[in-house]
Amino acid sequence: MPELPEVETTIRDLQTKVLSRTFIDVWTDFQKMTRLRQGFGLRLDEVGLRPDEVGGQVKNFEQFKKELKNKKIRKIWRRGKNIIFELSQGYSLLIHQKLTGHLLYDKWEEDKVNSYIHLKFFLDNGKVLALSDLRKFAKVELWKTKDLKKELSSLGPEPLEKDFTFEKFREVLKGKKAAKGEPRSPRFAGEAGQRRGKIKQILMNQEIIAGIGNIYSDEVLWKAKVHPFKDVSRLTEKELKEIYQALQEILRKAIELRGESISDYRDPAGRKGRFDEMRKVYRRGGEKCSRCGIKIKRAKIGGRSAHFCPVCQKI
């Protein structure tokens, strides 16, 4: 699954390859993947078309194609798990790869997961930027840059930015009282401004911290020796520091190793990342914990699986 390190790997590679290129054309065999968002004079009900509105979808894709044509890529960046191509004339193209999507450029390795191509961008250098996505959950949206920036501001801070200090981490995690006129922080609860909720779910909440998903939340909590079910309000200062430190180290290491590829993620050349070598708990239920030898457990939190060591990780 593309989480922060995988998305970062993708954009860094694309920056060296498609910056300053212009979109010439676009093809898809799954029109539901593409959308025009705010700023195109469309009513919301026209934009949020239902699957049965085939005629509407065709019309929508034709307009998407028309608007994208001849736009030049000025900047490629990442916000959380979103890839953003900033284009000429005030446009931005947003790609969210969801569970099994990944971008491929020019020539890529032969691999089954690279064969589910549902979208192709044709560039002015004669090369193709393609989106392979087995489950077809990925979304590709054309925005007016101004509107997109507003939309992205609802995401939590970037964990690898310089200003994401330990103090800031503690503040966003624990939740502080909203100042007058300020929007209330998400999942804000209790008189003292104390947020409640299981730490794993908090880490995966994109409005609290951007970019963390199921794999890295499991790995971070194992490294920090904190149980995924522990309520965030009960975390000690020491535990908070351990989580912060583990988060920094694991995300940086995962980027260095070009992400994980236990499932479908591949880089733009179609190659696997190597974070798998470091994986301690994710999808290792039943195996022995490398720290204490006890069997790694798997349990459900909010409908998804958490993997953890029931002995090393304290509740």
Partner DNA sequence: TGCAGTGTTGCTTC
Partner DNA sequence: CGAAGCAACACTGC
Sheet containing 128-133, strands listed edge to edge, beginning at the edge strand earlier in sequence: 23-28, 117-123, 128-133, 101-105
Measured from the CB of residue 150, what is the shortest distance to DNA in angstroms? 14
* Structural contact between residues 236 and 267, judged by C-beta atoms closer than 8 angstroms: no
- Catalytic annotation, residues: 2-3, 81, 304
Dihedral angle of Cα 193, 148, 103, 247, to the nearest 10 degrees:
-20
Q: Which is nearer to DNA, 20 or 305 (CB)?
A: 305
Point out which residues bind DNA (CB under 7 A). 1, 3, 32, 48, 51, 80-81, 96, 98-99, 112, 116, 134-137, 184, 186-189, 196-197, 204, 206, 213-215, 263, 282-283, 298, 302-305
Our CB check for DNA shows the closer of 21 and 196 to be 196
Q: Is 268 helix (H, G, I), strand (E, B) or coil?
A: coil
What is the residue whose two structure tokens read 């909010």? 302
Strand partners, 72: 22
Find the helix packing angle between 237-256 and 4-17, rounded to 10°: 30
Q: How far is the CB of 126 from DNA (least distance, A)?
A: 29
Least Cβ distance, residue 21 to DNA (angstroms):
26
| For DNA, the closer CB: 166 or 188 | 188
Shortest distance, CB of residue 3 to DNA, whole angstroms?
5
Residue closer to DNA (CB basis): 263 or 290: 263
* Nearest residue (CB) to DNA, 27 versus 122: 27
Alpha carbons within 13 A on the beta-carbon side of 49: 21
Q: Smallest gap, in angstroms, from Cβ of residue 178 to DNA?
A: 10
The helices-and-strands tally (H runs, E runs) of the chain is 8, 11
Minimum gap (Å) between residue 290 Cβ and DNA: 19
Q: What is each CA distance from 41 to 48, 63, 143, 267, in whole angstroms?
A: 13, 12, 12, 36
Quote the CA–CA distance of 244 and 165 in Å, as a whole number: 9
Distance CA 220, CA 226 (A): 9
Find the helix or strand (DSSP H, E) in which 168 lies.
helix 166-174
